[in-house]
Amino acid sequence: MTRTVLLTGFQPFGGEQVNPSWQAVSALHGTRIAGHRVVARELPVAFGASLKALRAALRDMRPALVICVGQAGGRAQLSLERVAINIDDARIPDNTGQQPVDVPVVAEGPAAYFSTLPVKAMRHALSAAGFPAEVSQTAGTYVCNHVFYGLMHALRRQRIVRAGFIHIPYSPAQASMHPGTPSVAVETVTEALRLAVKVALNTRMDARLAAGAEH
């Protein structure tokens, strides 16, 4: 039986016409990486509904590895997120008009969950291959963090399933509408994700490398 990797991206939001997270992961749908079949799913940019869609995908596919991907306009590198926090605090409304402020993702849930991906080994491999990559200490407090926290909560008793979140920059088409903001081509992100998945599947213990932040 072929094991499965679940990759998720998001619908456009915030007035954008596209979301490069979905463009990048959908390009890998149906491919095989390290003997695993890749399945891509698009999530709504909506508090609550995004987690319902994610949990349905987890039930349907029972994946060996899950990486959720989201857009973070303004960032210059692929950000391998280290920690998800139990708070929704939306600067802008989601696509359904919801704008929660200081609401827990999961009532009575722990304050935070750490990614179970080998984020340092992934960052090292990506950087060595010429992809812009960093380990990030914050996934924000919008729908991306909502999904990241909900993912880790859903898998909290399934230690064998590795999971986490990666933020990606604007695509060049988006950046052209936001002068001065960095971008990475969608095709480049797709190839970086291919490598990230391979490293996550083949790395049992994360590398001991400095990847912290001063601020």
* Per-residue confidence in pLDDT tens, the chain, 215 aa: 679 999 999 999 988 889 999 999 999 999 999 999 999 999 999 999 999 999 999 999 999 999 999 999 999 999 999 999 999 999 999 999 999 999 999 999 999 999 999 999 999 999 999 999 999 999 999 999 999 999 999 999 988 999 999 999 999 999 998 888 999 999 999 999 999 999 999 998 877 877 666 54
- Judge whether 94 and 143 are in contact, CB under 8 Å: yes
Catalytic residue among 16, 36, 81, 191: 81
Tally of structural domains, the chain: 1
146 part of the active site: no
Residue-number span of the structural domain to which 9 is assigned = 4-202
**What's the CA gap between 74 and 54, in Å, rounded?**
26
Say which of 16, 68, 144, 153 is annotated catalytic: 144
| Whether 29 is catalytic | no
Q: Is residue 167 part of a domain?
A: yes
CATH number at residue 61: 3.40.630.20
**Contact criterion met (CB below 8 Å) for 45 and 140:** no
Phi, psi of 126 (to 5 degrees): -65, -45
Asked if the structure places residue 212 within a domain, the reply is no
User: What is the reported pLDDT for 84?
Assistant: 98
Of 134, 153, 167, 191, which one is the catalytic site residue? Answer: 167
Structure tokens at 140: 């924000």
Residue 172 lies in a domain: yes
Length of the chain: 215
What's the gap between Cα 78 and its chain centre? 10
Domain for residue 148, yes or no?
yes
Which pLDDT belongs to residue 1? 60
For residue 130 the two structure tokens come to: 């010429």
Q: Let me know if 191 is a catalytic residue.
A: no
